[in-house]
Amino acid sequence: MHAIEPFYNWRHLYTAEEDEQSPYYGAEHSEFEFSNTIYNYYIHPQWDEFGSRTLYIKILFVDYEHNYAIMELIGEWNDAVEDDIMQLKRSLIDPMIAKGISKYIIITENVLNFHSGDTDYYEEWEEDIADDGGWIALVNTPEQTQYDILRSSIKNYVRLIDSPKWRTFKPEDFFQAVDNKVFQIDTGREP
Q: What is the pLDDT of residues 141-158, one digit of tens each?
A: 999 999 999 999 999 999
Mean pLDDT of 165-181: 97
CATH superfamily of 16-185: STAS domain (3.30.750.24)
Evaluate if residue 37 carries a pLDDT over 80: yes
pLDDT at 190: 60
Separation CA 179–CA 12 (nearest Å): 23
At residue 43, the pLDDT reads 86
Q: Bin 37: left if φ > 0, else alpha if -120 < ψ < 50, else beta.
A: beta
What strands lie across the sheet with 68-78, from one edge to the other? 55-63, 68-78, 103-115, 135-139, 159-161
Q: Give the confidence band of 33 by pLDDT, cuts at 50, 70, 90.
A: confident
Does the pLDDT value for residue 191 go beyond 60?
Answer: no
Residues 6+ apart with CB under 8 A from 57: 47, 48, 50, 71, 72, 73, 74, 88, 92
pLDDT in tens, 45-82: 889 999 999 999 999 999 999 999 999 999 999 999 98
Query: Which helix (H) or strand (E) covers residue 184, if one does?
Result: helix 171-187
Strand partners, 71: 59, 106
Domain regions of the chain by residue span: 16-185
Average pLDDT, the chain: 93
Burial of 51: CB neighbours in 10 Å, binned 0-12, 13-18, 19+: middle
pLDDT at 31 over 80: no
Confidence label for 163 from pLDDT (cuts 50, 70 and 90) = very high
Question: Would you say residue 123 has pLDDT above 70?
Answer: yes
